[in-house]
Each structure stands twice: as C-alpha cells, then as structure tokens.
C-alpha cells in the first residue's frame, strides 16, 4: 500500500490519558468560569482538543498547562 500526500501531513496520534472533559468540567477543575475557558481557547492561551466543532480537554493536559504557568 502506498502513502498519499495527505497521510504524510497528518500528525501522529497519541493515546488519551483518560476521558475527554467538556468545557464546564475543565472550568470546574481550574476553578474559573466556563466563559473564561472559551475565551482562553479562542485566544490560544489554553490548549484543547478539537472534536469537530467541539472543544475537549484531558485532565493531564490541564494539569500540564497549570504547571507550565
């Protein structure tokens, strides 16, 4: 089987470390308002996983972000 040009551009996947969290759950974990989470994702301050048009987070992703601050 040959690889197509699109296959070469796709990022490598890595296993998830737990369930995906919704913005409300991420807000509760970070002790901020849900609107802050949406704003931080929109401005690039908070990393997220995009699933279609939805944003999701992993607990480890958020913990790593907190430690990097």
Spell out the domain ranges in the chain.
Answer: 23-68
Q: Taking the CA atoms of 43, 48, 54 and 58 in sequence, report the sign of the dihedral they define.
A: negative
Q: Is the pLDDT of residue 11 over 60?
A: no
Question: pLDDT tens digits for 37-69?
Answer: 999 999 999 999 999 999 999 999 999 999 998
Tell me what pLDDT residue 36 has: 98
String of DSSP letters for 48-61: -EEETTEEEB-HHH
């Amino acid at each position: 089987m040959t690889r197509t040009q699109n296959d070469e551009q796709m990022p490598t996947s890595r296993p998830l470390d737990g369930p995906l969290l919704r913005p409300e759950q991420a807000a509760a974990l970070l002790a901020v308002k849900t609107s802050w989470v949406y704003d931080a994702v929109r401005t690039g301050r908070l990393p997220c996983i995009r699933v279609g048009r939805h944003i999701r987070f992993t607990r480890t992703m958020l913990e790593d972000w907190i430690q990097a601050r």
